A and B are shown apart, each in its own frame.
Chain A
Amino acid sequence: MSLWGWLILGMAVGGTTGFLAWCLLRVLGNQDKNHLHATTDLDPRQTDREPTD
């Protein structure tokens, strides 16, 4: 296989694998911050309310 072939193989396979790994790391790293499936969509009137003593 020519150098071009290795280069294309490396870029395509490395690129798609690296891209997926990067995305998955971000997804897993944000699991706790992610609003998804936290509990429910909180009512903004409750979440934005100033704490009262």
Chain B
Amino acid sequence: MSSGKKDGWGSSLGVILAVTGSAVGLGNFLRFPGLAAKYDGAAFLIPYFIALLLVGLPIAWSEWAMGRFGGQRGFNSCPGIFRAIWKSRASPYLGVLGLIVPVVIYMYYLWIESWCLGYALKYLTGSLSLGSEKAAYTDHFSSYVGIAADGAFFDQGLALPVLCLLACVALNFFIIYRGLSGGIEKVCLWGMPLLVLCALFVLIRVLTLGTPDPAHPERNVVAGLAQMWDLRGGVPGLLKSLANAEMWLAAAGQIFFSLSVGFGVIINYASYLKKRDDIALSSTTAVAGNEFCEVSLGGLITIPAAFLFLGAAGAVGGTFGLGFQTLPMVFDRMPAGQLFGFLWFFLLFIAAVTSSLSMLQPAIAFFEEGLGLGRRGSVSLLGFITLMGTGIVVWFTKDLAALDAMDFWVGSFGIFVLATIQTLLYGWVLGPKRGREELERGALLPIPRIFDFVIRYVSPVFLLTVFILWLHQSWASNWQAIQTQPSVRIALVFVLAVIILFVLLIAHAVRTWEARERKTA
């Protein structure tokens, strides 16, 4: 139970945009189109939307319900909320994941956010026109992040990359210090519409390019759209694609990571709602907002734009390859590319800021209610912890080893575990009856009855199946990285140290809560 003045949201639209802002990130504009292009375009959408209905939407509803349930009992942090739901000595310690996952992801996500800012500024000053060779853009990205050797990022001195990183650190902590309604909500109320506006400008530019290179008449807008949306090989091709288990895994993973479920953020944000606030429509709207940005904006911009200038071979790639190497080359060839390049990276920067802010709030809430710290103390303590983590990520830059290690073990593995715990807590501890009561109080949208069955049985099974398959697929290479790369070990030892620190802090918080409960009993 916390004491003192409670933070809270200022408007229903504010909380919806804050949750949407948390979910919308680089994955919406880069990862989703990249995966769709890789897995036969339109065929990818079938497992994608099935995963949305079976995992994404049900877990989002359950997280909102558990968050408000805990908030009504005076808790805003994951350990406190888990303890309110499950009267077990273990429950607050399971909640450590709800703190670790967002805090550790923030440590490397902040750096990626600074790349977006740096690239946007480079477009503004016209210094990212590197010619028509892809190697020039790859080399530029490599030297920007210092991929060649550990410590190379700082070899640049106080240049743009380092300054952008420092600016992002300052910006995030300035906003988070201003609180929920005065900081996060205000940024999202302005930032999310601005993000959509920037994306619409870029979208209109891409869709009106026609056939930009007369020497390649086959590279036109319709063919670019087909690259992303058409059924390759017709219905027989679709059936063949659907038999690809890897595509189902990728689609489920994309839905899962894109919606920010299992992140510890939604449960924290929802805890600040009031008893009779709607959560059914708000959570559904936040999911719809994320899907709009991913499917309607990301799906229409990225791959068609890359195809128009680089052909089918250029319209593939992972998040960093597509975003920071391929697309800059596309903007270089595009009419008014400097302006649209700026708009693109600026919208990615906004998407990253609204996400990174959300990663700080769960730990801030814990420090406030568990340790009795004020806003300034909480922000300072979290600033110290996260700066050390970010320092490790930006020092061990060789092949982005530290970033990849944290992303795998916390940003993927940790999220799966936390989401599974949350789903089981909702379905089997809080139970469908109490859960539905929470969801339906003040609801402006009916939640289908089948949800109770899906969240209790289907979501955990689906989640565990995807988790095991994913682990089977990626375990070996990541385990090998631990054995062979000292930088990976250092990064993971640091993560372990942060986990131990948070467990000790939770133990202290539990003693405080118990003492307070004895006093009021």
Q: A35-B276, A35-B278, A37-B10 are in contact. List 15 more A-B contacts (CB 8 A).
A: A2-B230, A4-B234, A5-B225, A5-B230, A5-B231, A16-B288, A16-B294, A17-B296, A20-B285, A20-B292, A30-B444, A35-B277, A36-B11, A36-B278, A37-B8
* B12 in contact with A34 (CB, 8 Å): yes
> How far in angstroms is the closest Cβ of chain B from A52?
24
16 A-B residue contacts at CB 8 Å?
A1-B223, A2-B226, A5-B41, A5-B231, A8-B45, A16-B296, A20-B288, A22-B288, A23-B281, A23-B285, A26-B281, A34-B12, A34-B442, A36-B282, A37-B12, A37-B277
0 or 1 for each of B37-51: is its CB under 8 Å from A? (1 = yes):
000011001000000
Cβ contacts under 8 Å, A5 to chain B: 41-42, 225-226, 229-231
Q: Number of B residues contacting the other chain (C-beta, 8 Å)?
A: 42
> How far in angstroms is the closest Cβ of chain B from A17?
5
- Interface residues in chain A, defined as those with a beta carbon under 8 Å from any beta carbon in chain B: 1-2, 4-6, 8-9, 12-13, 16-17, 19-20, 22-24, 26-28, 30-31, 33-37, 40-41
Question: CA–CA, A30 to B9, complex, Å?
Answer: 17
Nearest A residue to B237 by beta-carbon distance?
Answer: A4
| Cβ contact of A12, chosen from B274, B282, B284, B299, cutoff 8 A | B299
Question: Is B289 interfacial (CB 8 A cutoff)?
Answer: yes
Name the residue in A12, A19, A27, A36 with the highest tally of chain B Cβ atoms < 10 Å from its Cβ: A36
For window 289-327 of B, CB contacts with A under 8 Å fall at 289, 291-292, 294-296, 299-300
Cβ contacts under 8 Å, B278 to chain A: 30, 34-36
| Cβ contact of B229, chosen from A12, A31, A35, cutoff 8 A | A12
* A28 in contact with B13 (CB, 8 Å): yes
Cβ contacts under 8 Å, A17 to chain B: 292, 296
Cβ contacts under 8 Å, A19 to chain B: 288, 291-292
Question: CA–CA, A16 to B287, complex, Å?
Answer: 10
Cβ contacts under 8 Å, B274 to chain A: 35-37, 40-41
Question: CA–CA, A28 to B11, complex, Å?
Answer: 11
Question: CA–CA, A20 to B293, complex, Å?
Answer: 10
